[in-house]
Chains A and B, each alone.
Chain A
Amino acid sequence: MATRHEAASPPRQNIIEHPTATGQDNRKLAMWCFLASDCMFFGSLITAYLVSHDRAAVPPYPNDFFDIPFTSVSAFVLLMSSVAMVLALAGIQRGDLRRFRIWILSTGLLGLIFLGGQIYEFTEFHHEGLRLSTNLFGSSFYVLTGFHGAHVTIGVFWLFSLFLASFRQPLVTKEKAVNVEIAGLYWHFVDIVWIVIFAVVYLIEAG
């Protein structure tokens, strides 16, 4: 029968409620495996963009569209959401539900702001004539950033559900901080993908 062993002093706790072959939480291990596969997925999309964006036979072209100052603000917002996420995790690991709720809500709101910026950007591009079927640049750009946006959307739903769960269910507790940690891993991954996209798609293109 599995026994519960709770760490006495460190802020982090990882209660394994049943034996596992690796000694690690299987859900956390599964999330890392998923992130590894998502690396390959986004690597493929970024490659498709890199080899396609300058092969458009007809305009518009990348330099016609990108608003670097606006996208820089978006990048900063997502970066700060990662900070909020890690503070939310630190809060729940200390058993401070109030601090956890503040920071997880902040993370979700910052994610929503980022999504709003993306929607605004896509709308502007669409009005200026760049659509999914316009040319290779449009197709590769929208597919890459669209999939990233979809990941962010899923993450925002996840974060808000954690926020709500902290009020009604014993799902978000100090002993079960791994649930928040797993969500945090996903959210930070979304951020690092944008770090790459921002540099490769926006900055290098505009340089």
Chain B
Amino acid sequence: MSSQGRHDASHGEHAHPDAREYALIASILTIVTGFEIALYFFTGVGYSTLVGMLMVLMVVKFGMVVGWYMHLKFDERLYTWIFGFGLGVAIVIVLSLYLLFTVFHPAEEVLRQLPSGAGH
């Protein structure tokens, strides 16, 4: 069998990060987190802009942890496809249900239709 006793060649092909690079990634993540928190205190930004900026920063942090710390950037493409599939389905779920419940059935409309004294 071709895979019998085979060492995973891809690990030898890519240079994996060393401690210094991990520390650099950690520093970047800390700075990005600090910027996220700073946005909370900076009230001059409009809500839509705030949401957009927070989403971008969230994606940056997400990508860095997945890419460097989880080694997806240096590992087999198979893992990227597997995780990407799950992540893609999750994103579709979030977007489609969020649109359904905010655009087509906004909260104000639902609350208005509730009988008075309704539970939650």
In contact, A83 and B101 (Cβ under 8 angstroms): no
Q: Which residues of B contact A203 (CB under 8 A)?
A: 36-37, 39-40, 54
In contact, A12 and B16 (Cβ under 8 angstroms): yes
CB distance from B13 to the nearest CB of A (A): 9
Residues of A within 8 A of B (CB): 2-7, 10-16, 19-25, 28-29, 32-33, 35-40, 42-44, 46-47, 50-51, 54-58, 68-69, 72, 75-76, 79-80, 82-83, 85-87, 90, 134-136, 139, 181, 184-185, 188-189, 191-192, 195-196, 198-200, 203-204, 206-207
Main secondary structure of the interface of A (DSSP, over half): helix
The count of chain B contact residues (Cβ–Cβ below 8 Å) is 63
CB distance from B49 to the nearest CB of A (A): 10
Q: Which residues of A contact B51 (CB under 8 A)?
A: 204, 207
Measured in the bound complex, the distance between the Cα atoms of B86 and A3 in whole Å is 34
What is the count of residue pairs linking A and B with beta-carbon distances less than 8 angstroms?
181
Residues of B within 8 A of A (CB): 1-8, 11-12, 16, 18-19, 22-23, 25-26, 29-30, 33, 36-37, 39-40, 47, 50-51, 54-55, 57-58, 61-62, 65-66, 68-71, 76, 78-79, 82-83, 85-87, 89-91, 93-94, 97-98, 101-102, 107, 110-111, 114, 118-120
